[in-house]
Structure 1
Amino acid sequence: MNVEKRDRSGQVGQRGARVGAPRSGGRTAARRSNPSGGYVTQGSAALQEQSTTQDSVRVWDSSAEPAPPRLRVAPPAPVSVPRAPFIAMILVVVVGGVLGVLLVNTKINENAVRIGTLQQQQSNLDLQEQQLEKEIAQYEAPNNLAAQARKLGLVESGPPAFIRLPDGRIIGVPQPATGEPAITSSQQGAGE
């Protein structure tokens, strides 16, 4: 009696043969219960079903020639890597990295302190520059210039005369300055 069984993938097997779903989407192979021991193939599998006819079945005579050995996948040869140099190299890399990070942090902190000092010096110099500019502006005021000129013994002049450069013509009449010169401290010391 043939009983069809369904597995999880919905495929039907005959005579109690179990047909499973492929794990990686590849081929599946299930043993038949036939005497030839052939494989059931599905999809684009490279296996072919063995024929059950007598002419395609080989019978090996053990006295004439030994049966060829079945080929199996051998496990990869064990690779033995010396662990001590590898561990030493990892330790050197880790210690070197930690020391490098510490060195970089130390340099960053030194530069931050130096930058703070330089910024404070810059602000002091900016204040000093502003004070000097105020003093210069006070000395450049017209009243202060006139007072300083009188202290030096200078007198005010009249209207100026101009020379036109292309032809050398003089515009205006030059006149000597009139007025009493101021008595300076050097003249007072000389007169006494």
Structure 2
Amino acid sequence: MSSLVNPGRVRVPRQAPSAIERARLALVPTRTVRAPRAPFAVLVALLLGAGVVGLLMFNTHMQQASFYATSLQQRADALAAKRQALEMEVARLRDPQQLAAAGRKLGMVVPPVPAFIDLRTGKISGIPTPATSEDTMRITSLPAGLPEEFNKKPRYIKLPPPPAGNSVQTQADDGPASAGGTPAGGRNNSATAR
């Protein structure tokens, strides 16, 4: 109630002057804090270096894969060529003439009259005769002879010797003489060479 009687007086507790001094606010100049540049530069350099190293490793891996693929392709081509050579060798060995020649080397001959045995009944059809080396058949064709034109004997023509007393010097047998344009002795060699 006393406060109602004397409303103008408010009681403020006393504080120490040092606390008041500390509680006063003062303007402080703003400090701009700069982040250090060195860590950011190192981070960017590390990222760039890692990217370049990764790109080089990827490129090297791709080159190695390309070399491996090329070597595999060359190996496949070599194996395909070897397979083709073996198939050609098998086809050559399966040739009936090759088989007949191999059988002849082993002493086999073709029977003149074949005889057959029916395995179910045991009956022999045909007359079995022993084969001899005289009964063999020709398995290769005869060599081709030369045509008639190549079997003719050559004809030789004798030419008379040139006269000894002639003073005109001749060059070679087929060359022209000195000045006249006709060969030595006045004969035309082209007519006699026929």
Task: Using structure 2 for the length normalisation, give the TM-score.
Answer: 0.40
Q: Which structure dedicates a bigger proportion of its chain to helix?
A: 2
Q: Which structure dedicates a bigger proportion of its chain to strand?
A: 1
Give the structure with higher Rg (CA): 2
Higher RCO (C-alpha 8 Å, min separation 6): 2
Task: Using structure 1 for the length normalisation, give the TM-score.
Answer: 0.40
